[in-house]
Structure formats: structure tokens, C-alpha cells
């Protein structure tokens, strides 16, 4: 089993590998049963407190335990709110890039509950959601997935959130 501080990529283009190296990752080449791939170790000089500040601003709730996830989903159900859950990683450049917009959207749409889960802190939980890339956004109604967005696509995130708000409140301006 690969440790949680590793990113596994198969058949990755050379220019992408050099880009990952510039981010401070080291590479280990491994052979699986059928494929050869690369395992990237995340930089170890990461300051986790920085992540909490960047990813939990605005009305975004940082989820650090399965229990806090369950509590927030229960609260959202009780309050009649849909949930937007952002599965991210502190070392992920695209996650850091989209975090300010995510926080801004959390303030603009208080009728939704915005959560952030660090895939490295809650590895098993994130695996249960079948996270293949970060960031991954899930849109949940009553704890059930109604939509999903993989990647830091700002216009698409805005569009999906607007669509969710419009589906809950068709008269939203």
C-alpha cells in the first residue's frame, strides 16, 4: 500500500512530471503487475496551519474527523441546506488556487453549507468517496450526491453552485 503522502500517476507525460518536480515532489518509479507508474512524494516542508487558514475562511467548515462530517451533514439536513464538499490537499496547487473563490462563494450563498476535507488528514474517509484527484467537489442533498466536479475549474464551480441554489430556490436573484 502506498502511504497517504504519495501521489500515484500512470502514463504521465514527461512535461507534467517536470512540472510536478518543480513543485518540490520527489519521484519513485515502481512496477505494478501490469503497468509502470510514478509515485510522487509530497513536499515535507508544508505548514499545515497555513492550510487551515487558506481552506477554512469565509463560511467554510474544515472537517477534521468523520464525526464532524456527520454532525455537519445532520445540521444541513435539519436546516434544509444542500452541502458543497471540497476534498482537497494542502500541497495541491489547484486546490490553493480555487480556495479563495470557494470561500467567497460560501459567503455569497449562506443558504448552502460549504465543507472542506483534507484528503491527507482523512485518508480512509476520502478513499470511501473514491477521490481520484484534488480538488473534487461534491454537491449533496440529504447526504446524497446530486452532482460532482473534479478539478479547479472556477467557471464550472460557479455554474454548478448557481444551479444548486436555483434548484433549491427558483426565485433566487
Angle (deg, nearest 10), helices 48-55 and 93-108: 40
Q: Per the structure block, which three cell numbers stand in for 31?
A: 512496477
Active-site residue, 92 included = yes
**Candidates 60, 85, 95, 119; catalytic one:** 95
Under the phi-then-psi rule, with left for phi > 0, alpha for psi from -120 to 50, and beta for the rest, what region is 34?
Answer: alpha
Question: According to DSSP H, which parts of 56-119 are helical?
Answer: 66-79, 93-108
Angle (deg, nearest 10), helices 154-168 and 93-108: 30
The residue among 23, 85, 90, 83 whose CA lies nearest residue 54 is: 90
The residue ranges of DSSP E strands in the chain, in sequence order, are 6-10, 26-31, 36-41, 60-63, 82-88, 112-118, 136-141, 144-150
Q: Per the structure block, which three cell numbers stand in for 159?
A: 455554474
**Candidates 92, 105, 113, 152; catalytic one:** 92
The residues annotated with a catalytic role in the active site are 92, 95
Amino acid at each position: 500500500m502506498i502511504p497517504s503522502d504519495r501521489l500515484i500517476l500512470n502514463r504521465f507525460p514527461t512535461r507534467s512530471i517536470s512540472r510536478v518536480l518543480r513543485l518540490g515532489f520527489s519521484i519513485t518509479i515502481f512496477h505494478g503487475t501490469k503497468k509502470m507508474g510514478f509515485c510522487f512524494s509530497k513536499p515535507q516542508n508544508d505548514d499545515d496551519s497555513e492550510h487551515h487558514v487558506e481552506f477554512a475562511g469565509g463560511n467554510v467548515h474544515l472537517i477534521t474527523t468523520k464525526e464532524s462530517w456527520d454532525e455537519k451533514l445532520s445540521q444541513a439536513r435539519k436546516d434544509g441546506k444542500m452541502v458543497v464538499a471540497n476534498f482537497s490537499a494542502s500541497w495541491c496547487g489547484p486546490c490553493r488556487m480555487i480556495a479563495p473563490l470557494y470561500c467567497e462563494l460560501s459567503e455569497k450563498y449562506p443558504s448552502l453549507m460549504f465543507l472542506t476535507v483534507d484528503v491527507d488528514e482523512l485518508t480512509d474517509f476520502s478513499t470511501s468517496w473514491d477521490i481520484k484527484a484534488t480538488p473534487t467537489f461534491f454537491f449533496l442533498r440529504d447526504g446524497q450526491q446530486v452532482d460532482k466536479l473534479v478539478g479547479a475549474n472556477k467557471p464550472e464551480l460557479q455554474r454548478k453552485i448557481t444551479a444548486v441554489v436555483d434548484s433549491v430556490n427558483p426565485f433566487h436573484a
